[in-house]
Amino acid sequence: MVFNSLHFLVFFGIVTSSYFLLAHRFRWMLLLVASCYFYMVFKPEYILILGFTILVDYYAGILIEDSQGKKRKTFLAASLVANIGVLAIYKYYFFIDSNLSAITRVFGQELHLPTWEIILPIGLSFHTFQAMSYTIEVFRGHQKAERHFGIYSLYVMFYPQLVAGPIERPQNLLHQFYEKHTWDRERVQAGLLQMVEGLFKKVVIADRLAILVDATYADLAGQSTLNLLLASVFYSFQIYCDFSGYSDMAIGAARVMGFNLMKNFNAPYLATSIPDFWRRWHISLSTWFKDYVYFSLGGNRVSVPKWYINIMIVFLISGIWHGASWNFVIWGAIHGVLQITGIQLNRWFPALATYNSKGIGKFLSQLWTFMLVTFAWVFFRIPSFSQIKWYFKSLFLSLDESFIFHFNTMELIWSFLLIGYLFLMDKKLIQKPIGGFWVKLFISLFVIYLFGVFNVKQFIYFQF
């Protein structure tokens, strides 16, 4: 079920009220059963895959902790292979197959993997990464192996962050399942308001912008330059509000029950550089790659060329994590190149960092960064190279065409007003509606009801 559905609302009501009615020692069972139900609503049989990875990593963690020397590496490798293997089969099978056939065709004999009907289990990329962070942290000695199978399962399956993050670390989340969370009115109210804020971002901003974006991208060849530019900018905000909205709802839902999940977004479009953008966007994933891939490759404690290679490797993997398609790899590569370029420019011109930190310099660098990120999002949004070709062709060759609004003027103005409101919220220049909790809640819900788009559109990051 998606967070912006009545099914989730009713489910949340049942789980949260049961949580506070139950004695502490039974709460983990409730959350585990609820998380299983939450996952099985999508496709029940895929809980077996989740079960498999949970079993492997549970035992791997214990065996790593109880072993010495090379055996520890062996058990870690087994855990990583199992998780990456599951990802490879369920997410990358067709991608591997199509590329294998393309390569072998060049040599005169087209090879294919066995035909198999697979549907990507929802949240696979997220919970496998969360599980891998557990075994890695146990291996590194930063986390004690969890001996309670139910608690470990709950760590992987905890429903607020199961299908689209934030990708948690065991040091942050595991111990919270042992802590007794009592009713705290302020905390519950803050959690509910955060959920409502996330819902606002999703159904009022993201899904409304999606109307123009989808209409434009459905027919790229017939679009004018202005339409394409507008759709590209709107897509930047659509994906931000869609994903950060989901994260807010996840974090808020957990917060109601007393769990603190990590922040996943920090006003990314106020970033002054690409490295700054990646410190603000999908923080749980970027820190995962930093801690487990980038540092493992040596980070920046190597020669400069190797350092840049490390950066490219991380961004290429990040690209492929997002989707089994070359356009995502290109998107990752673009960010890698931009990251490296930014770093090198700062090495050549150290004064740039000072210029970008305040006043007009800061504004210009924020604008420039936003434009670069929006350019990269084009490759994220358009799935095929032929369509990308049409995009750029129409972008540069339709300058004198009249533009057709898929929105009327008022809807366009309203969309810009929403984006402006988002900026003010991100810069914390605007307070949420005044008044007590109930006033804030009802005003927010009323605005969502009035202006939201309610056709239960899935969250963009669910496809990853």
Partner 1 sequence: MRKIVAIFMLIFCAALLCIGYQSEWMSSLSKWMYGNESFLGSDKYRFGDLYGLSYYPQFRIKKEDKKLASYQITSKVNDINLTIIGDSYTYSFIDEQVQNFKRVKDLQFASWEERNKLKLPTPSATRNILLIEIVERNALTKLRADEFVKCFQLQKDQPSYKEKMEVTVENNLDFLLFEHSMFSKIKELKTSILQKLFGKIPGDVVLSKDGQNLYLRETMEGDTPANSFKVLSKSSYKTFENYLNKMYDKGKALGYDEVWLLIAPNPVRALQTEKKLANELFTYLEKSTTLRVKFLNILPALSRNAKSNFYASDSHWNLNGATIYRDLVNQELLKR
Q: Give the span between the Cα atoms of 157 and 138, in whole angstroms.
A: 19
**What sign has the CA pseudo-torsion 224, 270, 432, 243?**
positive
Q: Give the span between the Cα atoms of 234 and 4, in whole angstroms.
A: 21
Which structure tokens are listed for 84? 């990456």
Residue with Cβ nearer partner 1 (48 or 410) = 410
DSSP string for 340-404: HHHHHHHHH-THHHHHTTSHHHHHHHHHHHHHHHHHHHHHHH--SHHHHHHHHHHHHH-TTSPP-
- Tell me which residue of 290, 288, 289, 248 sits closest to 265, measured CA to CA: 248
Residue with Cβ nearer partner 1 (279 or 457) = 457
CB of 117 to partner 1, least distance (A): 14
Dihedral-angle region of residue 298 (phi above 0 means left; psi in -120 to 50 means alpha; beta otherwise): left
CB of 203 to partner 1, least distance (A): 13
CB of 180 to partner 1, least distance (A): 16
- Summarize as ranges the residues that interact with partner 1 (CB under 8 A): 1, 5-7, 9-11, 13-14, 16-18, 20-21, 41-44, 183, 408, 410-411, 414, 449-451, 456
Cα angle vertex 158, ends 157, 164, to 5°? Answer: 80
Give the burial class of 208: count Cβ atoms within 10 A of its Cβ; 0-12 exposed, 13-18 middle, 19 or more buried: buried
CB of 433 to partner 1, least distance (A): 18
Interacting residues of 1 by C-beta distance below 8 A, sequence separation 6+: 7, 8, 11, 38, 41, 42
CB of 190 to partner 1, least distance (A): 17
Residue with Cβ nearer partner 1 (354 or 408) = 408
Residue with Cβ nearer partner 1 (22 or 270) = 22
CB of 43 to partner 1, least distance (A): 6
Check if 335 is active-site: no
Q: Give the span between the Cα atoms of 404 and 53, in whole angstroms.
A: 50
Residue with Cβ nearer partner 1 (85 or 433) = 433
Considering 127, 142, 175, 322, which one is annotated as catalytic? Answer: 322
Residue with Cβ nearer partner 1 (345 or 417) = 417
Residue with Cβ nearer partner 1 (258 or 319) = 258
The residue whose two tokens read 């960010």 is: 335
DSSP string for 101-164: HHHHHHTT----PPP----PPTTHHHHHHHHHHHHHHHHHTSSPPP--HHHHHHHHH-HHHHTT
- Which ranges constitute the DSSP H helices of 290-350? 304-322, 326-348
CB of 20 to partner 1, least distance (A): 6
Residues annotated as catalytic (active site), given as ranges = 322
